Chain A
Amino acid sequence: MDATATAAPQTPRILDREPLVLNNRSYSWITNRICGIVENKQPALWWILFIPSVLLTGLMVFCFAYLISTGVGVWGQKQPVAWAWDITNFVFWIGIGHAGTLISAILFLTRQKWRTSVNRAAEAMTIFAVMCAGLFPAFHVGRVWMVWFLAPIPNANAIWQNFKSPLLWDVFAVSTYFSVSLVFWFLGLVPDLATLRDRCRPGLKKFLYGLFALGWRGGNRHWSHYETAYMLLAALSTPLVLSVHSVVSFDFATSVVPGWHTTIFPPYFVAGAIFGGFAMVLTLMIPCRRIYGLDDLITPKHIDNMAKIILLTGTIVGYAYCMELFVAYYSANPYEADAFTLRGITGPSTWAYYFMFGFNVFAPQLFWYRPWRHNMWVVMFVCMCVNAGMWFERYVIIATTLERHMVPGSWGVYSATWVDKYTFLGTFGFFMMLFLLFLRFLPVIAIGEVKGVLPQSNPHHDDHAEKGVQEEDLMNYPDRHVAKPAAAVA
């Protein structure tokens, strides 16, 4: 028998948590690594992605210019399919944004510390996705120069908006969502902009970073209010993000179109939005961590957690699909039943329904198996399936439903035109271009927040204690609101 076998059995360290930052990195390593992305030359791959993105953005601009100069008829929708790719793309992009807010707000309120490594990029993604989303309804109105009619001011005939309409609720929901996400993102950026400012040589860059860093100097009297503000914004964003996709679903649910008029829509849409958004976060972050050497900050643990959320929300979405079918059958409403028979069996676009089901419900089931959650190729494959599947979900709900109205006289088949396709492709270029510029000029990971979750950042952390149960695991933190001791008042 060797020595190790005779030694006392080691107690399993059940209280040990997986570290959020691997390899015991120091504060300055984190600063250097993240600021280095902004300060050093970009890798060739950045340019390889950036140039096509700019070209695609140009394509998008061209398509919109063509639409304005010719008319909204260059898109494929006509009666009876009046909402098609444009609204599909709008719901698709706005849904993508939801993962960013979930990570930044809901995971913050639930004290999920792993969010710190991914929240900055996810919030940036939210803002860029909402920008892409907003383009579609704006151009869908037809005469885009009249889009100011959406704003709550009386139009030329002194007529106000119809505030009872879900479409106007959508205007308020999406614009509020964009504004609040921007505020939240900016507030999170301020301390990191100060880091970039302090590392720059004097010049234009230092001036601009300094301007947006607002003169931040990291005082605890500032941090105290800052943390309160951050928590307030998280608490405000949480109901907001749930409301935005609920309101988007009201566009459909409050109508009387069979297949749309269902109460399941708000939770179903929100789950789907978070599901699709997480897939996009992973699609962006997995290449990022590899290209920029961020493996110690975005660890397999992070990917694993996000894969689990995709599995959960994907299963909720699958449940919603099945429940829709059940309700269509159980309600004994022939129109509702017909709508789903047409989607899945007899309609002209059943292929879209099967893409949707396969990509969204079956593909994520791979994530039940832990080694597959840790294999980046499998994760990327599932995310690509989900990205595509969520687009098909909206297409199925929107376009294929409208192809068969209640009266056979208003049946039709929809097909997208080249303008539809290139506009959508162009928004991907626009989205990628904005994201690449974000990587180039702003810290992709929240530097201050990641430092805050290191073990040595805890004031009660004891370096000399044996690794395992730390003092901070056992003690209650002192209450924040301790009155000033009598000695201080005297």
Chain B
Amino acid sequence: MSTTLKRVHGYLAEFDSVQDLYHAAEQVRDAGYNRWDVHSPFPIHGMDAAMGNPRSKLPYLVFCGGITGTTVAFILQTVTQTNFWGSLGLTFVENIVETYPTIVQAKPTDIWTLPAFFPVMFELTILFSAFTTLFGLLAIIGLPRWNHPLFASKRFAKFSDDGFFVCIEARDPKFSQEGTKALLEKAGGRNIELVEDEI
């Protein structure tokens, strides 16, 4: 349809090998671009340094998830099995649920039965951390996403086989029709194409 409006997404350039891609990334980094990425079928060792990427913040999220899991397990078990909260004077916590603090297997009903709660605390820490890892990752990288302008490029499908690409996006302040293309050509890029997004 000729009436479709198109917006330039960016320039896509293909490279022959990991080594070429690595050196191209160094050049794009040094040229001062920010809105760009390299696409490869597998993670490339050292590429973060070549691109100047910072370290992922994901571990902080996962730490919070893990602490939440430990806390949930501690509260779940102490509220339902012990008189711990009551002994602190927080009877309203104890009144949340009916409790039957019973001595089982000679384990007491106060806080000193805590070691018996460690396995569940450990397991919930791992469980919450793992789910935080998955959903935190998806949130950070902005997936799932059904479509993307890059998928419009026929060549780009090679990224999941043996293609190595650099894409510099048009929203980068340094982006220019000629300068960006020239940079990618100088870096050894082939089949440089302007990727457009239908709007």
Spell out A's residues near B (CB within 8 Å): 26-28, 31, 152, 154, 158-166, 168-169, 172-173, 176, 179-180, 183-184, 186-187, 191, 194-195, 197-199, 210, 214-229, 232-233, 236-237, 239-240, 243, 247, 250, 254, 447-449, 451-452, 456-461, 477-485, 487-490
Interface string of B24-61 (1 = CB under 8 A from A): 01000111100001111111111111111111101100
Q: Identify which of B17, B105, B130, B160 contacts A218 (C-beta below 8 A).
A: B160
B141 adjacent to chain A (CB < 8 Å): yes
B134 and A481: CB pair below 8 A? Answer: no
- Interface class of chain B by DSSP: helix
Stretch in B3-11, B87-95, B113-121, B175-183 touching the partner? B113-121
Q: How many A-B residue pairs have CB under 8 A?
A: 245
Q: Which residues of B contact A168 (CB under 8 A)?
A: 120
B143 neighbours in A (Cβ, 8 Å):
214-216, 222
A487 adjacent to B30 (CB under 8 Å):
yes
**B160 partner, pick from A198, A236, A479, beta carbons under 8 A:** A198
Q: Which among B46, B137, B140, B144 is the interface contact of A477 at CB below 8 angstroms?
A: B46
Instruction: State whether B46 touches A224 (Cβ < 8 A).
Output: no
Chain B residues with CB under 8 Å of A28's CB are: 161-162
Complex interface: chain B residues within 8 A of A154 (CB): 80, 97-98
Contact of B39 among A163, A219, A247 (CB under 8 A): A219
In contact, B138 and A214 (Cβ under 8 angstroms): yes
A215–B99 alpha-carbon span in the complex (Å): 48
Q: Is B150 an interface residue (CB 8 A)?
A: yes
With contacts A183-B130, A225-B141, A477-B45 taken as known, whether A484 is within 8 angstroms of B52 at the C-beta atoms is yes
Chain B, Cβ-Cβ closest to A227: B43
Q: Which of B80-109 contact A (CB under 8 A)?
A: 80-81, 97-100, 104-105, 107
B187 contacts the other chain (CB 8 A): no
> In the bound complex, do residue B19 and residue A221 qualify as a contact, i.e. CB atoms below 8 Å apart?
no
The secondary structure that dominates the A interface is helix
| 11 further contact pairs, Cβ within 8 A, besides A168-B120, A480-B49 | A172-B124, A180-B127, A183-B133, A186-B134, A221-B53, A223-B43, A226-B141, A243-B122, A452-B43, A459-B46, A483-B52
Selected from A161, A219, A457, A480, the residue in CB contact (under 8 A) with B48 is A480
Given A28-B161, A160-B80, A173:B53 Cβ within 8 A: no
Known: A215-B147, A487-B30. A243 touches B119 (CB 8 A): yes
Cα A83 to Cα B37 in complex, Å, equals 58
Contact status B124-A187, CB under 8 Å? no
Once the chains bind, are B47 and A481 in contact (CB under 8 Å)?
no
A311 → chain B, closest Cβ, in Å? 30
| Minimal beta-carbon separation of B147 from chain A (angstroms) | 7
- Please measure, in the bound complex, the distance between the C-alpha atom of A452 and the C-alpha atom of B22, giving whole angstroms: 14
Chain B residues with CB under 8 Å of A243's CB are: 119, 122-123, 126
Q: How far is the CA of A224 from the CA of B140 in the complex (A)?
A: 11
Q: When the two chains form their complex, are residues A485 and B30 in contact, meaning their CB atoms are under 8 A apart?
A: yes
- Check A162–B104 contact: CB distance below 8 A: yes
Whether A165 touches B105, Cβ cut-off 8 Å, given contacts A152-B76, A176-B123, is: yes
A459 touches B127 (CB 8 A): no
Which among B32, B56, B107, B162 is the interface contact of A26 at CB below 8 angstroms? B162
CB pair A459–B48 under 8 Å, yes or no, is no
Tell me which of B58, B107, B122 contacts A225 (CB under 8 A).
B58
Given the known interface contacts A179-B127, A216-B143, A481-B54, the answer about A169 and B18 at a Cβ–Cβ threshold of 8 Å is no
- Which has the most chain B C-beta neighbours within 10 Å: A165, A217, A452? A217
Q: Is B186 interfacial (CB 8 A cutoff)?
A: no
Decide if B129 is an interface residue (CB 8 Å cutoff).
yes
The docked-state distance in angstroms from the alpha carbon of A218 to that of B47 is 13
Query: A489 — nearest CB in chain B belongs to which residue?
Result: B32
In the complex, how many angstroms separate the beta carbon of A193 from the nearest chain B beta carbon?
Answer: 9
Sample 27 A-B pairs with CB under 8 A, ordered by A number: A28-B162, A163-B117, A163-B120, A164-B116, A172-B119, A176-B127, A195-B161, A214-B145, A215-B143, A216-B160, A218-B39, A220-B48, A222-B141, A228-B56, A228-B58, A229-B56, A243-B126, A448-B41, A459-B45, A478-B46, A480-B48, A481-B48, A482-B52, A484-B52, A488-B29, A489-B32, A490-B32
**A173 and B123 in contact (CB under 8 A), knowing A215-B148, A219-B37, A478-B49?**
yes
Would you list the 4 A-B pairs with minimal beta carbon distance, nearest first?
A: A27-B162, A459-B22, A214-B144, A215-B145
Interface residue? B64 (CB, 8 A) = no
Specify which chain A residues have a CB less than 8 angstroms from the CB of B126 in the assembled complex. Answer: 176, 180, 236, 239-240, 243
What residues of B have a CB within 8 angstroms of the CB of A166 in the complex?
119
Task: From B29, B49, B137, B147, give the contact of A226 (CB < 8 A).
Answer: B137
Contacts of A250 in B (CB 8 A): 119
Answer whether A220 and B157 are a contact pair too, CB < 8 Å, given A456-B17, A459-B50: no
Complex contacts, A456 vs chain B, CB 8 Å: 17-18
User: Are B130 and A180 closer than 8 Å at their CB atoms?
Assistant: yes
CB pair B41–A27 under 8 Å, yes or no, is: yes
